[in-house]
Structure 1
Amino acid sequence: MGLKSEGTAIPHFTIGVVDNDAFALAAMGNYLSRALADSTDLDWLTTSATTAIHRCLTEPCPDMLLVDMSMSEMSGIEVIRTIRERDSRIMLLAVTSFPLDEYAQSAADAGAQAIAAKGDVRQLTATILGVQRRQPYRYASIDFPLAQDAFARLAHHRQHDGIDSLTPRERTIVELSADGNTSVNIARQLGLSPATVGTYIQRACRKCGVKNRVQLIALLVKRRNTR
């Protein structure tokens, strides 16, 4: 799992961080400021997903954004996809305190370059440095795309199957469903009720012209397999 060192010189980078847990955000900021002082400027920290998106889509934007996966305003998957569909340059790193398996595939599909555990500071540092070097990242059997490749893939698929007509929240729920999560699991991750998750699934089915959740998941899996 992770990145192979190639001895490439590390350029000077700027990083932004979004995490709606203010305590965790401050702790991560303090750690990164010390651990990456020689190669990186910590540009800004925010607890707001919408603020992070705005800052990443306006100049000057950071070279990399660390995105917590579990936020109340909108999910980390939604933040990553929203930015990646509009920008091919910024590097996006998913971070989470949950098991990486819960988010790895969805983060890669949304356009992230890697995923790391917030609680493992050594792994987090190594992953940040590897992404800065543009090294390919692999978790389990999941290959994470480079930023430009993810942007091109999302642009190619945008107009074809109805998936891209979904709202960010609908898309996140469909992605998590395709990863094998039940409505109860999705509700826990996103802070919703299982009934609300079911409503989002029904709306997504109507938009994509399919009859049920199984067909909806099959549609998304087909798209993933054509990446």
Structure 2
Amino acid sequence: MITIGIVDNDRFALPMLDMPLTDIPGPEICRRVRAASADIVVLGITAYSLDHYRQLAIDAGAQGLIAKSVTPKKELAEAMRNVLVRPFPGFPTTEQAHGSIVSASARRSRTLSKREREVLGLYADNYSTAEIAERLGIADSTVSVVVRHAKVKLDVATRSKAVRVFRALY
């Protein structure tokens, strides 16, 4: 987490989250903040392609995403001021994101089995199908069946979308 932000009444009113953190990725931190509060505006920041992290940031409840290359202080300050007034185009408001994360989490936490959460979590940690099968002591085909069931429950068409939704919710 980048500890730059606008402080309001001794709390961060605008935390800026680095998307590709290794221990806890920015989208996961954002999802946790958003699940807990509809009051905090979250701005994602990345050195990588904005296209790569845009949907992850939206799904996690961020109000905007900027490139680290926006280093001139004037441009960064302008982006921070703008996101406090309204979300970037295509991003949800804090209230919309909070409601979406809370209701989706409640629905999905009841529907995904422990095994489905395990498998998607391992895919989210970049394990291959063979590595997941070996780690869990199951066949590769069983991993595929578990993913297929999770995709149906999450109402998504691809494994990568299932992992993205899983990351946003857990």
Provide TM-score, normalisation by structure 2.
0.65
Aligned to 1:152: 99
Aligned to 1:54: none
- Describe the shift of the 1:84–1:172 C-alpha distance in structure 2 as closer, same or farther (beyond 3 A): farther
Matching residue's letter, 2:121: E
**What is the DSSP-based 3-state SS (H/G/I as helix, E as strand, rest coil) of the residue aligned with 1:91?**
coil
Q: Select the residue among 129, 132, 144 that pairs with 1:199.
A: 132
Q: Deviations over 1:102-151 (max 9, x none)?
A: 11101101110000001123553332111111x2312xxxx111111111
User: Is structure 2 residue 39 aligned with structure 1 residue 89?
Assistant: yes
How many angstroms does 1:154 deviate by? 1.4
How many angstroms does 1:214 deviate by? 4.9
Provide the C-alpha distance between the structure 2 equivalents of 1:216 and 1:110, rounded to a whole number of angstroms. 19
Provide the C-alpha distance between the structure 1 equivalents of 2:19 and 2:123, rounded to a whole number of angstroms. 11
Residue pairs, 1:1-227, within 5 angstroms? 18-19=1-2, 40-41=6-7, 60-122=10-72, 123-133=75-85, 135-138=86-89, 143-161=90-108, 162=111, 166=117, 170=121, 173=124, 187=126, 194-195=127-128, 199=132, 211-217=145-151, 219-221=154-156
**What is the DSSP-based 3-state SS (H/G/I as helix, E as strand, rest coil) of the residue aligned with 2:15?**
strand
Provide the C-alpha distance between the structure 1 equivalents of 2:66 and 2:51, rounded to a whole number of angstroms. 11
CA contact (8 A) 2:122 2:132 kept: no
Structure 1: state its 5+ residue gaps.
Answer: 1-17, 20-24, 33-39, 44-58, 174-185, 188-193, 204-209
How many angstroms does 1:85 deviate by? 0.5
CA contact (8 A) 2:112 2:150 kept: no
How many angstroms does 1:98 deviate by? 0.3
Provide the C-alpha distance between the structure 2 equivalents of 1:91 and 1:131, rounded to a whole number of angstroms. 8
Matching residue's letter, 1:199: I
Matching residue's letter, 1:211: V
| Number of equivalent positions | 143
Matching residue's letter, 1:104: R
CA contact (8 A) 2:45 2:65 kept: yes
Identity %: 22
- Describe the shift of the 1:171–1:93 C-alpha distance in structure 2 as closer, same or farther (beyond 3 A): farther
**What is the DSSP-based 3-state SS (H/G/I as helix, E as strand, rest coil) of the residue aligned with 1:144?**
coil
Q: Deviations over 1:46-100 (max 9, x none)?
A: xxxxxxxxxxxxx943111100011122111110011111111011111000001
Structure 2: state its 5+ residue gaps.
Answer: 137-143, 166-170
How many angstroms does 1:163 deviate by? 5.3
Aligned Cα RMSD in Å? 3.8
CA contact (8 A) 1:77 1:172 kept: no
CA contact (8 A) 1:108 1:144 kept: yes
**What is the DSSP-based 3-state SS (H/G/I as helix, E as strand, rest coil) of the residue aligned with 2:36?**
coil
Task: Tell me which stretches of 4 or more aligned residues in structure 1 moved more than 4 Å.
Answer: 163-167
